[in-house]
Structure 1
Amino acid sequence: MTVDLSVVYCGIKHESPFILAPSPATDHLHLLIQGFEAGWAGAVLKTVAVDSRIVSRVFPMVTRIEQENAFIGLQNIDLVSEHSVEIVEQNVRALKKRFPNKVVVPSIMAFTKEDWQSLTKRFVQAGADIIECSIWHPHGTEWTLCTKVQEPVGTEQIASWVKEAAGDVPVVIKLSALDSDIMATAEAVERSGANGVSAINTIKSITGVDLDTLIPYPNIAGLSTYGGLSGPALKPISLRCTAEIAQRVKLDIASSGGIATWKDCAEFLLLGASTLQLCTSVLRFGLGIIDELKPGLEGWMKEKGFQSLTDVIGKSLPYLVDHSRLPRGIQVVSHIQKEDCNGCGACCIACESGGHGAISLVDGLPQVEVNKCIGCGICRSMCLSKAITLIRPNGKQSTSL
């Protein structure tokens, strides 16, 4: 069986859903060329503003975030493209001439109606396939080129300005999970006439504090600031935003935030995304990660019998319901698969601390007292060896979290 990875997003055909998100990897022409030659279907160029050239950058701009030596994300204090609008225009023209079938998306940021529309018209004339608008920035708010807080009224107004100037070229609005009501803002984007949304932007954050110097990271000559969190830590939030937007409006969705593997890609597609924007994973693993994403997604689709992305997109949404609609009265209990258990005791600690004391160690292995277990699943969630399942008390039917 052959699998078709092409997708139509905002009326534009993409050869696959895999898009380079705005980042240092999309701010230089030679890297964009490498990305397209490697197999990426498109790229959102690093956000540019009318006054990009006056932005004073500071270094270091990026800090690693980890938990027990496991990489969970990056925090960046970067702002917009280091290039002028003129240079980015040249990049758009050069890319469309060399790669006419790739999707080139300038990301713009402005403060006034005149600047929003001027930037839009310039990039439309340069040959942009889609215009993406970055209305809110998670840091650098003193640099007032955009709104300090994304909200429905302002977003709808800006989106309508850009759509008016863009003509037939699709317009996408980037949304923030820190929005006071991201669903209301998505509805505002739909009312504006824009074609899609990108969800989500990085989240305002602090990496941590150096306990020797007492200075938060990153240390910029003795001072620090807030930054934008990206990477695996964002995935649950981004999945939630993708699903809620897909259930609320009829806009095409480009998902970003925590996408690193083909399995991540499949999950976002199942929850309503049409395209997938990757940034942190590209910085960590390189542009060649596309060679793992494509065959991984294709193999899974073949296994499930999906011939095209149309069969996949939004497939899991019907399973998401309000809490009040969840089935009641179904009893499950924990079951230890002893062949997979390493006897670490994490399940016992979890059950004793937050459960009902239903698990105890017997001869070095955990044992469940079924009459005490209520099936809360805390033990399963804490088991790193995945040795715990939840089953019906009669053992005949299992369920998963």
Structure 2
Amino acid sequence: MSVDLAVDFCGFHLENPFILAPSPSTDQLDLLIKAFEAGWAGAVLKTVTVDSSIVSRVFPLVMRVEHVMGFMGIQNIDLVSEHSVEEIEQHVRFLKKRFPNKAVIPSIIATNKDDWQMLAERMVEAGADLLECSISFPHGAEWGLCSPIQEPGGTEEITRWVKEVTGKVPVVIKLSAQDSDIIATATAAERSGAEGVCALNTLKSITGVNLDTLIPYPNVAGLSTYGGLSGPALKPIALRCTAEIAQKLNLDIAGSGGITTWQDGAEFLLLGASSLQLCTAVLRFGVGIIRELSTGLQGWMEEKGFQNLKDVIGRSLPYLVGHSQLPRGIQLVSQIQPAACDGCGTCYTVCRTGGHAAIHWRDGLPQVMVSQCTGCGLCQAMCPQQAIFLARLMGERAVLTG
């Protein structure tokens, strides 16, 4: 069966749903050329403002965020592109001439109506296929480029300003992970004419603190600051925002935040995204990751019998309901697979600190006492070997629930 990965996003036909998110990777023309040749369907250029010289960069720009379980993401204190508006215009023109079927998406940010409209007009004139508006940054607001918190009123006003001058070029509003009511803000964007939203921007964060110097990371000549968290740690929040918007609004959604594998991308599509923006994964593994993303997604779709992305997008939304609508009265119990268990004892500990003391030791391995187990799932969630599954109790027999 032939599987079609093509999709329409805000009226633009993408050969596949994978787009480069604004980052250092999209601020270099040679890397953009390499990415398009590798198979990426489009790119959002690193955000440009009227006068990039007003922001003085500091180094290091990026810190790794890690925990005992491994890589969680990166925190960056980078801001806008160092390129001038004229240089970004040149990039857009060059890319559209060489790659007419790729989506070239400038990202803009400004402080007032005149500047928002000037940037929008110039990018449209240069040949932009879509325009992304970055209304808030999680860090660096003191430079006067943006509000640290995105809210509906400002979003609606800025979207209207931009839509007044973009003509038929679709406008995508990038949403903030710190928004207290992301649906209200997305609704404001839709009301003022935006064709799509990007869910979502990085999350204001602190990487950690050096316990020897006592200085938070990153250390910039003895001082530090807040940054924007991206990568796998952001994925659950981004998935939630994508699903909520898809359930309540009629906007095209660019899923963004923690997409590393084709499986991540499939999850965003199933929850309503129609394009996928990647940043941290590209920085880690290079633009060549597109081959694995595309072939993996295609293979899964073939296995599931999906012919195109229309069969996938939003497919999982009907399963999301309010907490009060969840089924009650179903008895689950934990089942431990001896072949996968290494006897680490994590399940035993968690069952006694947060469960119902249903796990006991027998012959050096944990055993579940079915009569004491409530099926809370703590042991399954904490098991490092993924040796535990939950089964539905049918009489005295446990049946795997999936």
Q: Shift of residue 396 of structure 1?
A: 4.9
Which residue is 1:179 aligned to? 179
Q: After alignment, is 197-206 or 66-75 more displaced?
A: 66-75
SS at match of 1:208: coil
Between the aligned partners of 2:252 and 2:333, the Cα distance in structure 1 is: 41
The amino acid across from 2:45 in the alignment is L
Which residue is 2:46 aligned to? 46
Q: Shift of residue 64 of structure 1?
A: 0.3
- Superposed structure 1 runs of 4+ greater than 6 Å apart: none
Q: Does 1:397 align with 2:399?
A: yes
The amino acid across from 1:187 in the alignment is T
Q: Shift of residue 177 of structure 1?
A: 1.6
Instruction: Work out whether residues 256 and 278 of structure 1, in 8 Å CA contact, stay in contact via their aligned partners in 2.
Output: yes
Q: Does 1:162 align with 2:162?
A: yes
Q: Shift of residue 89 of structure 1?
A: 0.3
TM-score, normalization by structure 1 = 0.99
Between the aligned partners of 1:121 and 1:242, the Cα distance in structure 2 is: 29
SS at match of 2:95: helix
- Unaligned segments of structure 2, at least 5 residues: none
SS at match of 1:49: coil
Give deviations 1:188-217, integer Å, cap 9, x for gaps.
111011100001100000000000000000
Between the aligned partners of 1:138 and 1:146, the Cα distance in structure 2 is: 9
Instruction: Work out whether residues 345 and 361 of structure 1, in 8 Å CA contact, stay in contact via their aligned partners in 2.
Output: no
* Identity percentage of aligned residues: 70
Instruction: Work out whether residues 149 and 176 of structure 2, in 8 Å CA contact, stay in contact via their aligned partners in 1.
Output: no
Which residue is 2:152 aligned to? 152
Q: Shift of residue 69 of structure 1?
A: 6.3
SS at match of 1:392: strand
Give deviations 1:5-38, integer Å, cap 9, x for gaps.
0000001101100000000000011110011001
The amino acid across from 1:293 in the alignment is L
The amino acid across from 2:205 in the alignment is S
Which residue is 1:66 aligned to? 66
SS at match of 2:141: coil
Structure 1 residues 212 and 158, CA, compared in 2 at 3 Å: closer, same or farther? same
Give deviations 1:359-387, integer Å, cap 9, x for gaps.
01111111111111111000011111111
Q: Shift of residue 54 of structure 1?
A: 2.5
Instruction: Work out whether residues 19 and 276 of structure 2, in 8 Å CA contact, stay in contact via their aligned partners in 1.
Output: yes
The amino acid across from 2:34 in the alignment is Q
Instruction: Work out whether residues 242 and 253 of structure 2, in 8 Å CA contact, stay in contact via their aligned partners in 1.
Output: yes
Alignment RMSD (CA, Å) = 0.8
Aligned length: 400
Instruction: Work out whether residues 335 and 388 of structure 1, in 8 Å CA contact, stay in contact via their aligned partners in 2.
Output: yes
Between the aligned partners of 2:390 and 2:167, the Cα distance in structure 1 is: 55
The amino acid across from 2:105 in the alignment is V
Between the aligned partners of 1:232 and 1:53, the Cα distance in structure 2 is: 32
Between the aligned partners of 1:207 and 1:18, the Cα distance in structure 2 is: 28
Instruction: Work out whether residues 111 and 147 of structure 1, in 8 Å CA contact, stay in contact via their aligned partners in 2.
Output: no
Which residue is 1:245 aligned to? 245
Between the aligned partners of 1:336 and 1:285, the Cα distance in structure 2 is: 35
Between the aligned partners of 2:343 and 2:148, the Cα distance in structure 1 is: 51
